[in-house]
Structure formats: structure tokens, C-alpha cells
Amino acid sequence: MTIENSSQAKVFGGWHKQYTHQSNVLNCAMKFAVYLPPQASKENPVPVIYWLSGLTCSDENFMQKAGAFKVAAELGVAIVAPDTSPRGEGVADDAEGAYDLGLGAGFYLNATQAPWDKHYHMYSYIVDELPALIEQHFPVTPAKSISGHSMGGHGALTIGLKNSEQYRSISAFSPITNPINCPWGQKAFSHYLGNNIEDWKAYDSVELLKHNKATLPILVDQGEDDGFLQEQLKPELLVAAAKASGSDMTLRMQPGYDHSYFFIQSFIEDHLRFHAQFLTA
């Protein structure tokens, strides 16, 4: 698998780099960004935190707005930020250009319904193809953790829970915890997966935790002033499911914080340090 460097900038002694490559899983060209801390070298490979962004975002949002590089450089961890959906000519999009379906809204699942099933296999991309690419081309170890925001928080939780052997820890900011019971999830899942709700449950963290104890530590931060809290995010259902299965999950409700990257900036250091303790153990 080949990659092409499209931009790079030195930051806190390390490098932020953006790449393009042809994805066999998604059947299109894709972008991703990587931050390599100053410690990273062939002789000293470093662990990786994968960051999954939310609706309307790309690989650029976290890298430009989260303020994560100083702490990542201190801890000696790489960060990889993929795009949030397949893109390009011929990739299906919502006919009305809605922000919560189609481009920028891949929901980190494998679509089974036409026309989405031709390209929308973000689950397999994140779980299999992208890590193989990263480990082939960069000085990183197989040790990795996963995190994300909103739709990406949903992705981080479900992917981490379903692939616990591949990750050391999971975290999320403002995750869509129970997509089968919220408007964002119901709209996307009905298009991508069809109308059988049993099929939806495979990509729902509340449903996954109800039936299986998490084997990885989980940290979730949620702003109390998040405008999407009641209708879309429903963290109380995640807490109930984790408690019922005896899972190791910490939910921190943060007074005054909303759904924005100001919220992420405020607590990203906590999340990086949370992951680092398991990645470097």
C-alpha cells in the first residue's frame, strides 16, 4: 500500500503530516493525518492513539483545533486522524446535502444497502486497513488506543468494544451512545443498514455493553450544556448499560461545557494521559 504526503509542519519537536492513499476497502482516495512525536524513530517506535471525528468533520478538525500536540510530544505517543467518510466522484451522498447522512457522516459502520454499500465501509477501514497502513509506513508499535467525538465517540466506543484485542483503552467526548434510539442514528442506520433494527444493534455501544462486559477501560467526558445532550447523546443509557455488565467505565459530566472543540481542548490532556498509562505499561 502506497501513500503520498500532501503537507507537513513541525510542531513541539514532532511532525504533523497529511497523506492521501487509495483505499481498497472504501473504493476511493482517502486522506488521513498523523502526528509523530519527537521520540518516534525506527529505533524507537511509539504507540498510537486513533482519533475519530464527528459529523461534518474531516481529518483536519482535531489536528487543528484540539491542542493535543504538546502533551502527545511529552508522552511520546502518535495520533492518527482519518477522515469521517469516503469521498470523491461517484461516492454516494444525501440528495439534499444533509449534514447527517452521506459525505462527512460515515458513522464508522459497514453499509449493506445500495448505493452506500459500494463505498461506506468505515468500520473495516478503521479496524483493518488504516492500522495496517500506519504500521507499514511509520515508526509505530502495534499498541494502540481509540478515542473520538460525537459520531466519532460512537465509533470509538463500538470499535473498541468489538475489537478489544486490538486496543489498550477507549475514550470519547460527547458520544452518540445509543444510535438506535436517537434521530441521528435512526436516519443513518436506516439508510446504511436497512430497516432491521437487529442489524443496527451491532453498531450501538449501549446494546453492546448490555450483553458483554467491556474488557478495556473507558473514559467518557460529556458537557452538561451540550445542546444535543437529551435528544441525541443520552449518556445515562451508557452508564446504565456499563453498570449492568460490570464494565470499567468512567463518565464525567462537565458543567458549563458544550459540544464544541473548546470542550475537547479543555480535557484532551486528560484523555491523552489516560491512554498513555495503558499504551506504555
Catalytic: which of 83, 204, 221, 226?
Answer: 226
Domain that holds residue 177: 4-279
- CB-CB contact of 274 with 169 (8 Å): yes
Tally of structural domains, the chain: 1
CA distance 97 to 249: 36
Q: For cell 436506516, what's the residue?
A: 190
**Is the separation of the CB atoms in 228 and 177 below 8 Å?**
no
Question: Annotated catalytic residue: which of 16, 119, 191, 259?
Answer: 259
User: Which of 147, 150, 171, 174 is an active site residue?
Assistant: 150
Confidence of residue 225 (pLDDT cuts 50, 70, 90): very high
In this prediction, residues 239-263 reach a mean pLDDT of 97
Position 281 pLDDT exceeds 80 = no
Is 248 catalytic? The answer is no
Specify the pLDDT at position 278.
98
Catalytic residue status for 266:
no
Question: What pLDDT score does 178 carry?
Answer: 98
pLDDT score of 166:
98
**Is 90 exceeded by the pLDDT of residue 279?**
yes
- Sign, CA dihedral 158-151-52-170, equals negative
Q: What is the rounded CA–CA span in Å between residue 79 and residue 17?
A: 11
What pLDDT, on a 0 to 100 scale, did the predictor assign at position 9?
Answer: 98
pLDDT for residue 130? 98
Percentage of the chain surpassing pLDDT 90? 99
The question of whether 226 is a catalytic residue gets the answer yes
User: Rounded to whole angstroms, how far apart are CA atoms 90 and 118?
Assistant: 10
The answer to whether 92 and 115 have CB atoms below 8 angstroms apart is yes
Residues with Cβ within 8 Å of 259's Cβ and at least 6 positions away in sequence, in order, are 150, 174, 223, 226, 227, 228
Query: What was the pLDDT predicted at 1?
Result: 82
Q: What is the CATH number of the domain that holds 272?
A: 3.40.50.1820
- Taking residues 200-228, report their average pLDDT: 97
pLDDT for 78-132, tens place per residue?
999 999 999 999 999 999 999 999 999 999 999 999 999 999 999 999 999 999 9
